[in-house]
Amino acid sequence: MALSFELLQEAVLFGVLLGCFYAAVSIGLSVSFGLLDVPHVAHPAIMVLGAYCTHLLGRYGWDPIAAGVALMPLFFILGVGIYRFYYETFEKRGSDAGVRGLAFFFGVAFIIEVGLILAFGVDQRMVEADYIGRSLAIGSFRLPWRMLVAFGVALTLTAALTLYLSHTFTGRAIKAVAQDEPALRLMGANPVRIKQWAFGIATAVTALAGAMLIIVGPVEPSLDRVYIGRTFCVVVLAGLGSMTGTLAAGLILGISESIVLMTFGASWAPAVAFGLLLVVLGIRPQGLFGR
């Protein structure tokens, strides 16, 4: 399966676009799991939910990106609610939060998935926009516009969240809560409220990620399953909670997947993220850019 230089170039170029997209769909998890330590296995399911909401708004003529942005406040409230509930039922009671918290989020993911099947059926859904279905030709390469749009939004989103976490007071408080909760308490801040806020932001960002998901390709309710691998792969590879690491890890995954896709075919691609995840967990669980 020799790969010509031309094809490799194309694979890498496509991989970079894909990688930025993977970083953007993982960045919410990077906050909720990476920084807040919540075993949020329902993250990909919430993203798929966002994609379906975008699809729904698309039926009324909304542009997918506008729909994604409009969904953010709603998902913010959803996120605050989820964290509040998780905190009251599991985190506060302490012991055994691990097993039960995991089972809880696993169950929530399952409910969202089946709920989507009940509401929309198992068929694939998509959205329409001017930039979907057309390509940009650069030299001999043809880059689909939908990937370029997702790439642009992904970069903006990642940059905005990185700046927010490092340059605003609340952002720094979120990072502080991840590192030293007692210290924050001593400073008079309420860690639970900060975490609640952070989880809200993570969920809002996931709504926009969902909009990008359906721009990049058609979605189906069970799509969250393969994204468990992709998002956790990126977040673990990045080193928990590192935003720039998330971007780098997304690129690594995107390029590897794109190369495997072109050499071995589509049926092997889903295993790339999971394989990479297993390798990272087995060899260096603290990630490449870990604390």
Partner 1 sequence: MIPRNARFWTGAAAVIVLAVIVSLSRANEYFFFAGFVVLQSVVLATAWNILGGYAGYVNFGTAAFFGIGAYMAVVVINATGAPLAVQILAGAAVSGLLGLGTGLLTMRLRGIFFSIATVAIIFIAETLITNWRYVGGATGIQLLRPPLMEPFGSYTRMLFVVMAVLAVIAVSIARYIETSWIGRGLQAIRDTEEAAECSGVPTLKLKLFACTVSGALMGAAGAPLPMYLSFLEPASSFSLNYSVAALAGAIIGGTSHWLGPVIGAILLASVQQIVTVTIPGEINVLVVGVLLVVFVVAAPDGVLGLLRKLRGKLRRPRAPAESPS
The residues that touch partner 1, with contacts defined as CB under 8 A, are: 33, 39, 41, 89, 96, 98-100, 102-104, 106-108, 110-111, 114-115, 117-118, 225-226, 228-229, 232, 236, 267-268, 270-271, 274-275, 277-278, 281-282, 285
Nearer to partner 1, 38 or 57 (CB): 38
Give the number of other CB atoms < 10 A from CB of residue 228: 20
Least CB distance from residue 144 to partner 1, whole Å?
25
Least CB distance from residue 89 to partner 1, whole Å?
5
CA–CA gap between residue 237 and residue 285 (Å, rounded): 8
Least CB distance from residue 56 to partner 1, whole Å?
19
Least CB distance from residue 86 to partner 1, whole Å?
10
Nearer to partner 1, 82 or 207 (CB): 82
Nearer to partner 1, 15 or 39 (CB): 39
Least CB distance from residue 99 to partner 1, whole Å?
6
Least CB distance from residue 58 to partner 1, whole Å?
24
CA–CA gap between residue 78 and residue 71 (Å, rounded): 11
Contacts 24+ apart (CB under 8 A), 160-164: 161/27, 161/31, 161/201, 161/205, 161/243, 162/243, 162/244, 164/201
Least CB distance from residue 36 to partner 1, whole Å?
12
Nearer to partner 1, 34 or 64 (CB): 34
Nearer to partner 1, 72 or 108 (CB): 108
Residue 239 burial (10 A CB sphere; 0-12, 13-18, 19+): buried
Q: How far is the first Cα of the chain from the last one, in angstroms, to the nearest whole number?
A: 39
Count how many Cα atoms sit within 13 Å of the Cα of residue 70 in the half-sphere of its side chain. 13
CA–CA gap between residue 132 and residue 50 (Å, rounded): 18
Angle at 132 between CA 70 and CA 16, to 5 degrees: 90
Nearer to partner 1, 131 or 258 (CB): 258
CA–CA gap between residue 41 and residue 172 (Å, rounded): 25
Nearer to partner 1, 122 or 137 (CB): 122
CA–CA gap between residue 121 and residue 82 (Å, rounded): 26
